[in-house]
């Protein structure tokens, strides 16, 4: 049995649609069906449903709120919740797929992309909690895939693509930061990769997955709005102070994912695919 946590979130919804298309059965849970922060309930759910594969998509993702008002919830969901899922997965012999983030890195690397071997040094509460979640998976589960991703967008839920489109409806001119570099990730391709590693029975461990080629948020916005009558102007991030510090450079190295034989579209191809 396949279990999806966070099944109504941006990635969980994408994954459900993909499994539906392939005719693969699964149990979809969200907070109402399974409170991952309650160890007793998680244990009971696993005993009753006996999952063999767990796609752990549940997460607290309000990056700025995690710095203050959401700090406790961030810790509870991303660390304690993940620990509960990891322990239960191990007990039931299930393979666990945990989604992590480029925010586990500090963004100061000067010599190439971030590899899966690079030392984590999160600079915000969200990144710290997601990395602690990774450590919980490594400590409590034997059969696991940790997949770090970045700049996630897709047709389900709130994300940068929809934000830009909405702003362009009411603003003739937009300013977007051009001094943060990363790799956008289409939820569809990420969901496909999650299925791919488990189907292929790839070696357990940590992987990086995003779409290919890197860009700035300004580049991304320009591409999103290229057919819209709006002026997009680059600015540096000091013009947009945020509570949570973002890595200036978080380009993830994809060589490990590519070595498995998975074809990764560029972010421009992925964006075009999603907008279709």
CA atoms 71, 72, 73, 74: torsion sign: positive
What percent of the chain is helix, strand and coil (3-state, nearest 5)? 40, 20, 40
Active-site residue (options: 45, 98, 126, 144): 126
In the three-class reduction of DSSP (H, G, I as helix; E, B as strand; rest coil), residue 186 is classed as strand
Distance CA 223, CA 147 (A): 26
Long-range contacts of 224-227 (CB under 8 A, 24+ apart): 224/160, 224/161, 224/164, 224/165, 224/271, 225/164, 225/165, 225/168, 225/174
Joined together, the tokens standing for residue 86 give 């990891």
Q: Active-site residue 218, yes or no?
A: no
Distance CA 228, CA 62 (A): 29
Q: How far does CA 80 lie from the centroid of its chain?
A: 18
Q: How far does CA 32 lie from the centroid of its chain?
A: 22
Catalytic residue IDs: 126
């Amino acid at each position: 049995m396949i279990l999806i946590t966070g099944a109504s979130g941006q990635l969980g919804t994408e994954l459900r649609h993909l499994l539906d298309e392939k005719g693969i059965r699964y149990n979809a849970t969200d907070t109402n069906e399974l409170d991952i922060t309650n160890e007793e309930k998680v244990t009971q759910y696993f005993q009753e449903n006996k999952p063999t594969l767990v796609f752990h998509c549940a997460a607290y993702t309000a990056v700025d709120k995690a710095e203050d008002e959401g700090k406790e919830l961030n810790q509870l969901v991303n660390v304690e919740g993940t620990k509960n899922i990891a322990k239960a997965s191990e007990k039931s012999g299930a393979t666990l797929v945990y989604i992590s983030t480029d925010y586990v890195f500090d963004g100061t690397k000067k010599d190439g992309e971030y590899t899966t071997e690079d030392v984590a040094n999160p600079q915000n509460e969200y990144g710290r909690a997601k990395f602690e979640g990774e450590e919980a998976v490594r400590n409590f589960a034997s059969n696991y895939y940790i997949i770090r991703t970045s700049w996630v967008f897709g047709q389900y839920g709130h994300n940068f693509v929809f934000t830009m489109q909405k702003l362009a409806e009411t603003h003739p001119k937009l300013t977007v930061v051009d001094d943060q570099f990363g790799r956008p990730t289409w939820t569809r391709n990420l969901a496909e990769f999650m299925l791919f590693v488990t189907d292929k029975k790839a070696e357990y461990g940590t992987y990086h997955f995003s779409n290919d080629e890197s860009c700035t948020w300004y580049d991304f916005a320009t591409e999103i709005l290229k057919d819209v009558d709006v002026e997009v102007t680059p600015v540096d991030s000091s013009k947009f102070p945020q509570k949570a510090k973002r890595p200036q450079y978080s380009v993830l190295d994809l060589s490990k994912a590519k070595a498995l034989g998975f074809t990764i579209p560029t972010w421009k191809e992925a964006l075009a695919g999603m907008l279709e």
